[in-house]
Amino acid sequence: MKIYHNPRCSKSRQGLAMLREANVDLEIIEYLKNPLTESELKDLLKKLHIPAIELVRKNEAVWKEQYKNKNLSENELIEAMVANPKLIERPIIVNGDAAVIGRPIEKISTII
């Protein structure tokens, strides 16, 4: 399993703790230190079965300042998240071809 993790985020830390308690083999990806490529983000969206807009953190300052109220295409949203990884919702847990956004963290139990 993989967790796309931001150690400064309390929900991400709670999700990581839940996965560790479940004793799963885990790869931790700190996506702010190691940003996703466009291809990786598209693959993640496919596993999540959601459009890009549902992965965007709309309360982030960069969203409000640069993107809010713009009619962005799917590719433009992906480009925005690649350029500004803080815009990506977290934590994201991947198990094979399935993934969930761990908000609320109880959703993580559906993928373990």
Instruction: Give, in order, the Cα–Cα distances in Å from 85 to each of 13, 29, 34, 72, 112.
Output: 17, 12, 9, 17, 25
Tokens of 52: 């890009």
- Give residue 61's pLDDT: 97
Of the residues 5, 7, 9, 112, only one is catalytic, namely: 9
**Ordered structural domains, the chain, with CATH:** 2-110 (3.40.30.10)
Q: What are phi and psi of 21, to 5 degrees?
A: -65, -35
To the query of whether residue 9 is one of the catalytic residues in this protein, the response is yes
Name the residue among 39, 17, 36 with its Cα closest to residue 87. Answer: 36
pLDDT tens, residue by residue, 55-102: 999 999 999 999 999 999 999 999 999 999 999 999 999 999 999 999
CB neighbours of 77 closer than 8 A, spacing ≥ 6? 51, 52, 53, 56
